A and B are shown apart, each in its own frame.
Chain A
Amino acid sequence: SSELTQDPAVSVALGQTVRITCQGDSLRNFYASWYQKKPGQAPVLVIYGKNNRPSGIPDRFSGSNSGNTAFLTITGAQAEHEADYYCCTWDTNDNHVLFGGGTKLTVL
């Protein structure tokens, strides 16, 4: 079956821009959705589709794709953005849903 690979950890200086990556063959055909996960809280959808934000998600969050890689970009990272971020997409090989391994974002 397919997999989605994410860097385990990424850090960014306060106020700078950070890009979190997600790689997998399924991403050649389907966009990823992205989730912010803080300890003790349920995941929150931040990006879905080509580059759509649910209501309440600020436009500092954006999504993009290139080949087999999806990107989540946070422009002007703040302390409250420190969290785990997960990508998710559809796997046509096995007809099921895939999640990436997650990226722990640290804001310095």
Chain B
Amino acid sequence: QLQLQASGPGLVKPSETLSLTCSVSGGPISTSAYSWGWIRQPPGKALEWLGTVYFSGRAYSKPSLNSRVTISVDTSKNQFSLKLTSVTAADTAVYYCARQAETPGGFVWFDPWGQGILVTVSS
């Protein structure tokens, strides 16, 4: 059974870079059948997709965050990562990683999800 687990610092200072890693177990990250996504949920707010990476390393991210987000993959470690630069209190959220499925018709869904990690931005 595929499992994902996000890890990283739970506290980041304003203006610094948030770095998280998602470890995938129970299956290879190097598959053309799926991509790998990051989604977050600020306290009391909705889910927000941040970006997605393919095992090839090709990645795309939410346009409004594009310049701050970098998503990469390390197939040798079966992991993918998120970096978010210049963080502010607005970036405080639970960050989730998930396997993303897509079809040629553009249908997209996320399953399964990692357990999430709370990242607080505070000095």
By a beta-carbon cutoff of 8 Å, the part of chain A in contact with chain B is 1, 29-31, 33, 35, 37, 42-45, 48-49, 54, 86, 88-90, 92, 94-102
B26 sits at the interface (CB 8 A): no
Write out the residue numbers on chain B whose beta carbons fall within 8 Å of the beta carbon of A97. 37, 49, 52, 62, 100, 108
Q: How many chain B residues touch the partner (CB < 8 A)?
A: 30
- Among B16-24, B76-84, B110-118, the stretch that binds chain A is B110-118
Task: Tell me which of A31, A45, A92 contacts B110 (CB under 8 A).
Answer: A45
Q: Is the CB of B103 within 8 A of A42?
A: no
Tell whether A99 pairs with B107 under 8 Å between CB atoms, given A1-B63, A42-B116, A43-B96: no
Given A96-B49, A99-B46, does the pair A45, B60 have CB atoms closer than 8 Å?
Answer: no
Instruction: Using A30-B107, A33-B108, A97-B62 as known contacts, list a sample of 11 further A-B pairs with CB atoms less than 8 Å apart, ordered by residue number in A.
Output: A1-B63, A1-B64, A30-B106, A35-B47, A35-B110, A37-B47, A42-B116, A43-B39, A89-B108, A90-B108, A96-B62
Give every chain B residue within 8 A of A31 (Cβ-Cβ). 107
Q: What chain A residues lie within 8 Å of B108 (beta carbons)?
A: 30, 33, 88-90, 97
Q: How far is the CA of A94 from the CA of B66 in the complex (A)?
A: 11
The interface residues of chain B lying within 8 Å CB-to-CB of A48 are 101, 107, 109, 111
Q: Is the CB of B63 within 8 A of A99?
A: no
Q: Please report the C-alpha to C-alpha distance between residue A31 and residue B111 in the assembled complex, in whole angstroms.
A: 16
User: Residue of B at shortest CB range from A95?
Assistant: B60
B110 lies within 8 A of A33 (CB): yes
Inter-chain CA distance A96–B59, complex, in Å, is 11
Residues of B within 8 A of A101 (CB): 46
